[in-house]
Structure 1
């Protein structure tokens, strides 16, 4: 008696053994697990590639960071170049005037701050010595009750520690010198890149876009220009935030009678462009001035003013104003700054928000296929066929149509080739 077992039964029409096995595997794996696995390997691949890219760029940070700084400065001062160009100033002269004016403004502000601080601290030197004497008196007559012999012994121990660690201090000094050399090199690269970004930025961008495949050029061009617009908005809002910091701390210092309030405000404005470190250094200078000039109570009031302004910046200006300008949620701005500082320190905190804004604009533009309706890109030029215009349309050979003659076939082939070229563009 013939029994047909399941494995010996013929498969339904249109299904093979491989298709049937894949069907059973899909039924065995739950749908939620399949979707999670599909998302997991894609997200994991993006993270791995992103981490690898950051690791590779860390080896050429001396080139990458100056280029990014030059791009930020270009976004800031490019309107000046456009204004001069509208005033019929030659392009090279407009770029030279803009860069020299920008460097002169920054140099003048720094020299003003340095000169005012030097003069102010020279006038306050007697008060500094008096403050050191007060600290020494508090150590001897205060709750610690330290004698002069104990103070001398502590000073001698500190000197011995310095002498024993002289090699470490020397190596640290060498690293500082190397860092200063890198900063000088980076400054020269930034200025050099800034000149070409202002003078020939459009042509450089067109050259980069021209390296891409033809089908990707329109999307890449439109997405890049959209990202650039986001970065321009970011740097303008950052200027506003720095101005608010400078006015808040400078006005507070003037109200409570701290000397050198004006140069202090200029110093805060410049330091606001350097995340974390800029706020710490300028805040320390403000509190130190109040301490030396007016004592502990005034210094505590100045510290409260600095902390209040920094809290206003961190919790109101940066998340709300900055997030609205670059189309980012306030939480995304805070996380971007924190994550950037964890990954790449000061440079990461400085470039995290503009990079995230550019990425957000690019992804939205490409997802919406914005290049198809972007007026900035312009419509493609029509294809001119003057030698084919007088010819009547040719029907292809088939039932009811006569076959093409030897003279008609090259014309039809030429038209097909032109249509293919136009579609490739």
Structure 2
């Protein structure tokens, strides 16, 4: 019998026939896919462990704000444990006092606000009846009855939401306790934790990682200090304006402005909008315009003078990068993500710039929680 098997043709290397541009594009493509996949896994892990990662991140922000005080007391020969306790007690007392004052002011001004809102609703009813729409009382009452009926029909959904809100409150309280617990250890032994982390790194990159980490924390300290000062200026400026215009709940609204200032751009806009709406509902169109002018003026002072001077080059970020970071934070973790996105970006910006520096640096012999951490040296 004849051998009918066919000889297989030898394999030909076709790499040389692939255009150079396509090879470069393919190399970039698979690397891009690998990076995106790694980032997706990282974001998923952070979201999955959000009950742990968010308290850690918030505790780190608070540590950046409070650690310089602990270090100053230590330099005054106060034992570190006692210094940590003193700063924690002072901080909790300050926060508790401010919250108590704001809540008492809100409770005192709520009846007056309710009366003014009721008067405004009566004016809206009269305008609907006598204005260009010429609605009669039956049509207005029918619309109100429809709204009440809708609320009653969705009572189960509202009740479920209330139960969910109660569960959320429990989770928030648990998160607060965990944050305080973590904060104590950050303040007491933050530098020791960092040294332990650096020892895990390879010896040939250990020094550069140490420098980059310390500079990243320095940027965080600068960011938190500057943001807190900007928030105080915003709250005082807008609060005084609200008091001059005689807007109800001026102090709670100023407190809302203070909290909103920690979320750059978006927080200030939302807090200012709430203040304008309260002025519109309670006082009318012209006072609302005055409040809007005050809010815009204070925000312009913040964006053009305060932030460039206070933040400086150490944590200066492009506005587009800030907006994109906030958007990504909202998508990933809601309000907490919006709060933490910009400081995280500031830390990464400073740390990566340090790692990419062409000059060999030796680790700076300073405590990462000290005042010197707020003043990074070199480029």
Output the TM-score relative to the length of structure 1.
0.74
1:333-376 deviation per Cα after TM superposition (whole angstroms, max 9, x unaligned)? 33322333344332222222222222222222222366643443
Give the SS at the match of 2:313.
helix
Displacement of 1:195? 0.4
Which residue of structure 2 aligns with residue 210 of structure 1? 199
Which residue of structure 2 aligns with residue 35 of structure 1? 24
Aligned match for 2:64, one of 75, 85, 97 = 75
Which residue of structure 1 aligns with residue 99 of structure 2? 110
Return the alpha-carbon distance in structure 1 between the equivalents of residues 221 and 18 of structure 2: 49
* Cα distance change of structure 1 residues 61 and 160 upon mapping to structure 2, 3 Å threshold: same
Return the alpha-carbon distance in structure 2 between the equivalents of residues 353 and 64 of structure 1: 16
Displacement of 1:207? 2.2
Return the alpha-carbon distance in structure 2 between the equivalents of residues 195 and 373 of structure 1: 29
Which residue of structure 2 aligns with residue 160 of structure 1? 149
* Cα distance change of structure 1 residues 220 and 84 upon mapping to structure 2, 3 Å threshold: same
Aligned match for 1:62, one of 41, 51, 76 = 51
Which residue of structure 2 aligns with residue 172 of structure 1? 161
1:107-162 deviation per Cα after TM superposition (whole angstroms, max 9, x unaligned)? 21122122123223334554443333222222222223333332332222222212
Return the alpha-carbon distance in structure 2 between the equivalents of residues 328 and 303 of structure 1: 27
Aligned match for 1:326, one of 297, 315, 318 = 315
The answer on whether the counterparts of 1:234 and 1:326 sit within 8 Å (CA) in structure 2 is yes
Deviates more, 1:226-235 or 1:321-330: 321-330
Displacement of 1:326? 0.9
The answer on whether the counterparts of 1:271 and 1:279 sit within 8 Å (CA) in structure 2 is yes
The answer on whether the counterparts of 2:264 and 2:322 sit within 8 Å (CA) in structure 1 is no
The answer on whether the counterparts of 1:258 and 1:294 sit within 8 Å (CA) in structure 2 is yes
Which residue of structure 2 aligns with residue 405 of structure 1? none
* Cα distance change of structure 1 residues 328 and 320 upon mapping to structure 2, 3 Å threshold: farther
Q: Pick 1 or 2: higher relative contact order, CA cutoff 8 A, min separation 6.
A: 2
Q: Does 1:340 align with 2:329?
A: yes
Displacement of 1:314? 6.0
* Cα distance change of structure 1 residues 317 and 331 upon mapping to structure 2, 3 Å threshold: farther
Structure 2 unaligned residues grouped into runs of 5+:
1-9, 367-379
Q: Does 1:376 align with 2:365?
A: yes
How many residue pairs get aligned? The number is 357
The answer on whether the counterparts of 1:275 and 1:346 sit within 8 Å (CA) in structure 2 is no
Return the alpha-carbon distance in structure 1 between the equivalents of residues 296 and 337 of structure 2: 23
Displacement of 1:331? 3.2
Aligned match for 1:349, one of 315, 320, 338 = 338
Which residue of structure 2 aligns with residue 385 of structure 1? none
Displacement of 1:204? 1.5
The answer on whether the counterparts of 2:242 and 2:250 sit within 8 Å (CA) in structure 1 is yes
* Cα distance change of structure 1 residues 81 and 188 upon mapping to structure 2, 3 Å threshold: same
The answer on whether the counterparts of 2:314 and 2:350 sit within 8 Å (CA) in structure 1 is no
Deviates more, 1:203-212 or 1:282-291: 282-291
Output the TM-score relative to the length of structure 2.
0.82
Return the alpha-carbon distance in structure 1 between the equivalents of residues 347 and 67 of structure 2: 18
Which residue of structure 1 aligns with residue 375 of structure 2? none
The answer on whether the counterparts of 1:320 and 1:330 sit within 8 Å (CA) in structure 2 is no
Equivalent positions of 1:128-207 (< 5 A) are: 128-207=117-196
Aligned match for 1:366, one of 335, 355, 360 = 355
Return the alpha-carbon distance in structure 2 between the equivalents of residues 77 and 40 of structure 1: 45
Displacement of 1:216? 4.0
* Cα distance change of structure 1 residues 137 and 272 upon mapping to structure 2, 3 Å threshold: same
* Cα distance change of structure 1 residues 36 and 244 upon mapping to structure 2, 3 Å threshold: farther
Displacement of 1:249? 1.5
Displacement of 1:284? 4.6
Displacement of 1:189? 0.9
1:286-307 deviation per Cα after TM superposition (whole angstroms, max 9, x unaligned)? 2354345533311232134334
Aligned match for 1:286, one of 242, 251, 275 = 275
* Cα distance change of structure 1 residues 319 and 83 upon mapping to structure 2, 3 Å threshold: closer
Structure 1 unaligned residues grouped into runs of 5+:
1-16, 378-425
Q: Does 1:119 align with 2:120?
A: no
